[in-house]
Structure 1
Amino acid sequence: MTQESYYAKTAYGSTEVPEQEPSNERPWIMRFAKVRLPWGNADEVTPVSFVEEYSPRDLRNQEHSKIEREEQIAKGSYTPSPFEHIDFHMRDNHESFRYALLPVSSHFWIYMVGVGRILFLIFLTLSFFILTAEFIDTKKILSDIIADYSVTLVVLLGLPLLCWMAGAVVIKFFQNLWIKPSRGPIWELNRRTGLVTVFDYKNNGEYKKNGTIGELTAPFYEFDAYIATSPDSQGMPLNVLYLAHRYRNIMINFGALLCPGPDVQPPCALWDFIQNYMNVSRPLPDLPQYEEYRHLDPTTAEYDRLTGRNPRYWIDMDDATFKQIVSEMHQRVDEIDTFERPNLMAGYVTYVD
């Protein structure tokens, strides 16, 4: 399949951006604590978590499971897993990156485990110091001290432990209670079409009751990236990447994809990743999760043919090499030069703010 027949006319190529209308002035809320990032000159970097998401060992396990599944299907002995046919509205391949979140009911059990564990460990450490101080101060025997604080210990340790254990039991043994699909995707970056879509579940501020999902769609090159900075509960800055349309009220908050943090380098690396992923004049970002799809994307397949890239580069990688690559990506993200780059999109659009 040729590039011309595979990619849509709206596909994004860094050297084929059309002239555009002057940008609209952003509302004050968009200008507040938000820095616009430059277009172009994207480096071959990505948030480190994207590299770590699938280790070579994970890829080999997936390959083994796929081979086993195909053998069982051929023998007529295959039994589908309970969740195999559920659409979780997630896509991350050579055509599109579609993102969705688990529903609130699923997050409830996840938070039960996480918060319960953290609170239990904090209160366990605190209780140890309190009981030790009480022992030193009163010289009582340990059993008497524990009896004096029994109610407090039950509350401080028992409730978090109960939450932790209950959540862990449900997640491990009662998956039907917590593994459920969300109502639909949140956003999509489509490499093949060059379009960005935000899925709209509201209509004039009201949630749609008929089950339909609106779609707000525009070409990728009509969006700009911003870093929004806001304080956490301790006053420390948290940086989040946004993608905002220049002419319409279409916006993507990537905070759920990349956890907000005090450093601006990870959001900048995410912006480079997005530009590289959407740019059909360049191959797919070379990440473990895309290795099985590289031959299906014409630009990437041609690049791999010309460079002689090993099609099993990631899956056959040893653990030591993978660890070294992750370490190198950490360093490259730390040294990213985003704010020193010119905004190449300024050659195609006039910014009014």
Structure 2
Amino acid sequence: MEDPKPKSMRFWEQSEKEKAEMKASGTYVPRPLEHIDLHYKYDHERFRFAKLPFRSQFWLSLKIFCKWGLIILLPLSILTDIIFELDSSNFDIKELISYSTTILVLKVLLAPWICSSIIVNYFPRFWFRPPKGPLWELNRRTGLVTLFDYRNFKKEGAIEKVTAPFYEFDAYIVTSPDRQGLAMNGLFLIHRYRDIRINLNDLITPDNTTQKPCALWDFLQNFMDISRPLPDIPMYEAHRHLDPVTAEHDHKASREPRYWIDMDDDTFKAKVKEMLGRIDAIDTFSRPNLMAKHVKYID
């Protein structure tokens, strides 16, 4: 729902216009790594998911972790040191430095944040590596789910594909503990007759409720149902006119083609809040299990 935001959509729309103008005038200079295929695809036909390899994820994660660690911990550590000093009878700079939580936080987080920020912002060729290919794909046009297998990629350089119809997959909520021992719920798609499973925890992080996994399952079903229009979220706005069912629906409903992209920030925040409310009120577990009439599940 929030990726991309309307503000981001307008930015990239303007960027594409400027790019087209520069190409027409012969002044366009490609951006670094612009030609690289990231292998993901989210349009009116395919929901194809890919993720960066570990090396690329490491530097991005380190930068984000250290940045937010400093934002959260630094004020707390400064406050702790102030309270510690106020509680002390005599001011001792050596003692303060020796036991300062502020200095400890800076030692642990500041250098890695500066280093990772410089590398990510100025040396993309060092940290960035494209994925070998996608992990899985849901195809609205064909109704097929494809899992990409890389087990023989190093030996043979080949990516094996395993496909099956979407209607043969069941959704499972898999519960596992986080580092604090709290139960976290993630969504898996598991084939009913073959050993094919798709872990969707890389798409959305596991949640301590079952509402978000259930909402994701609804989203995937709506996307794959060609009798219904595409889910009305910002990601699909540029592709809605390319899907016949969606185009007909939008014409009958007189939907504004730039509904999301022209939306102001306050209205968009209200729409996101409304969506979160709908997720919290989802009724998945009270719906009838239609497959129970046709299939006997054996654990």
Q: Return the TM-score normalized by structure 2.
A: 0.92
Q: Is contact 1:135–1:145 with CA below 8 Å preserved after alignment?
A: no
* Greater RCO (CA < 8 Å, at least 6 residues apart): 1
Between Structure 1 and Structure 2, how many residues are aligned? 298
Deviation of 1:227 after TM superposition, in Å, equals 0.4
Q: Structure 2 residue aligned with 1:262, among 201, 205, 208? A: 208
Relative to structure 1, is the Cα distance of residues 138 and 63 closer, same or farther in structure 2, using a 3 angstrom cutoff? same
Deviation of 1:113 after TM superposition, in Å, equals 1.4
Q: Is contact 1:86–1:181 with CA below 8 Å preserved after alignment?
A: yes
| 2:240 alignment partner in structure 1 | 294
Whole-angstrom distance in 1 between the partners of 2:266 and 2:82: 45
The aligned runs of 1:235-314 (5 Å cut-off) are 235-314=181-260
Q: Does 2:270 correspond to 1:324?
A: yes
Higher share of residues assigned helix: 2
| 1:102 alignment partner in structure 2 | 52
- SS in structure 2 of the partner of residue 77 of structure 1: coil
Q: Structure 2 residue aligned with 1:209, among 151, 155, 165? A: 155
Q: Does 2:14 correspond to 1:68?
A: no
Bigger mean CA offset, 127-136 vs 272-281: 127-136
Whole-angstrom distance in 2 between the partners of 1:210 and 1:252: 24
Q: Is contact 1:244–1:250 with CA below 8 Å preserved after alignment?
A: yes
Relative to structure 1, is the Cα distance of residues 130 and 155 closer, same or farther in structure 2, using a 3 angstrom cutoff? closer
Deviation of 1:345 after TM superposition, in Å, equals 2.9
Q: Structure 2 residue aligned with 1:172, among 116, 121, 125? A: 121
Relative to structure 1, is the Cα distance of residues 99 and 131 closer, same or farther in structure 2, using a 3 angstrom cutoff? same
| 1:181 alignment partner in structure 2 | 130
Q: Structure 2 residue aligned with 1:129, among 65, 71, 80? A: 80
Deviation of 1:127 after TM superposition, in Å, equals 6.1
Q: CA deviation digits over 1:177-235, x for unaligned, max 9?
A: 223211111111111111111111115xxx64222111111000000001011111222
Q: Does 2:3 correspond to 1:57?
A: no
Q: Is contact 1:134–1:145 with CA below 8 Å preserved after alignment?
A: no
Relative to structure 1, is the Cα distance of residues 316 and 85 closer, same or farther in structure 2, using a 3 angstrom cutoff? same
Q: Is contact 2:73–2:105 with CA below 8 Å preserved after alignment?
A: no
Relative to structure 1, is the Cα distance of residues 147 and 337 closer, same or farther in structure 2, using a 3 angstrom cutoff? closer
Q: Structure 1 residue aligned with 2:167, among 214, 221, 224? A: 221
Whole-angstrom distance in 2 between the partners of 1:303 and 1:107: 40
- SS in structure 1 of the partner of residue 148 of structure 2: strand
Q: CA deviation digits over 1:235-274, x for unaligned, max 9?
A: 2110000000011111011111111110110100000000
Whole-angstrom distance in 2 between the partners of 1:282 and 1:101: 29
Q: Structure 2 residue aligned with 1:83, among 33, 41, 48? A: 33
Amino acid at match of 1:96: R
Whole-angstrom distance in 2 between the partners of 1:210 and 1:107: 26
Q: CA deviation digits over 1:279-329, x for unaligned, max 9?
A: 111111111111111111111112112222111111111222211111110
Q: Is contact 2:234–2:260 with CA below 8 Å preserved after alignment?
A: yes
RMSD (Å) for aligned C-alpha atoms: 2.0
Whole-angstrom distance in 1 between the partners of 2:62 and 2:298: 47
Whole-angstrom distance in 2 between the partners of 1:314 and 1:348: 41
Q: Share of identical aligned residues, percent?
A: 49
| 2:107 alignment partner in structure 1 | 158
Q: Return the TM-score normalized by structure 1.
A: 0.79
Deviation of 1:160 after TM superposition, in Å, equals 1.5
